[in-house]
Amino acid sequence: MHYARPIALVLSCWLLAAGCTTGSRVDLLVRETAQGMVYLDRLPDSRFQASHPIRLDEALIARSLQGMLIREETGLLRALTSNDTPAIPVFSGTEIAFLTPAIAEGLKQAASDQAVGFRLIQASNGGYRERAGAAIGSSEPPLRPLSRETTSGLVFAYGRSLYLYLTEYRQRRDAPDTVNMPNRRLPEPSGLLNRRVLFMPEEALRSDQFAPAFVEDPANVLIIDYDRLATLSSPSSTPPVTTRPTEQPQTSPTPPPAQSSETDTDIRAIREDLKKKDSEVEELRKELQDIKRQLREQQTNRSSGPAQPPPPSRSTDRTP
């Protein structure tokens, strides 16, 4: 409890520093906890007009976040010696539970020139990682201790699509390596180098050719047809979010068996009514055919009529 205020202060400073770096301006803080923050931010291009404000179901937003995957793109040497690295979820279950209601609220409040931004503070996956700036011949140690990492991005709607723009993935804020000047390299700023952003199910994904012009790398933008995604909500197509069941996001409850049986009863009743109507239509069709047949017979009788006697013939013989 004593660390809540310092953590919030650190998060605010990081967000302010990121806004100064990218030129964006935070308009409204939607939610902020030790996990991270969700906020409203101006779109990088004022000419782009989003479909905001908009109300999207939280279950649909959670489904979109669940479908975001990332995969390491191996180099040629690793590709020759090993198989492709499997894709893993971008967000854990607890992160989705944190982001979903805040993003839904942000989309309802956002203007057409705003997007919903998010920044997650995550624990590192291991104790050490390779240095990003040490080159060949460097005297610096090849490993460095890990602490906290950040994942950030933007969410906005346009037309009937939901845009998920991942700008940073599990990236640690580090200063450039202090090696000698000719050998110094800057760290990769986004953490997305040699990584590919994917989405499942692929049927709900639009082509990245519709990505806005302000996006630096269209491959990092997922354009989701949320109407199509709503029809692909079968559990079999949903990728696993986490290995622990307790971290699964909340989903809408399934209908009880009683409701299902009532629905089946209604369907059977409708089918019986349709059968009755079909039989009635068939009887009417037969009656109509009988009436037509009787009319044809009457018409035939009228045209033939009774036989007329032949007119009396005039005799050509003359009496003397």
Q: What is the pLDDT of residues 44-55, one digit of tens each?
A: 998 999 999 999
- Under the banding of pLDDT at 50, 70 and 90, the label for residue 313 is low
Record the tokens describing residue 98, joined without a space: 């944190």
Domain range annotation of the chain:
4-131+142-252, 259-290
Q: Is the pLDDT of residue 299 over 90?
A: no
> pLDDT tens, 185-216?
445 567 788 899 999 999 999 998 889 999 98
Q: Is the pLDDT of residue 168 over 90?
A: yes
> pLDDT tens, 77-134?
455 545 567 899 999 999 999 999 999 999 999 999 999 999 999 987 654 444 444 4
Phi-psi category of 170—alpha, beta or left, where left has phi over 0 and alpha has psi -120 to 50?
left
C-alpha–C-alpha distance, residues 126 and 146, integer Å: 7
Q: Is the pLDDT of residue 36 over 80?
A: yes
Record the tokens describing residue 294, joined without a space: 């009787």
> pLDDT tens, 268-287?
777 777 777 777 777 777 87
Instruction: State residue 24's pLDDT score.
Output: 46
Residue 17: HSE in the Cβ half-sphere, 13 Å Cα cutoff: 8
pTM assigned to the model: 0.58
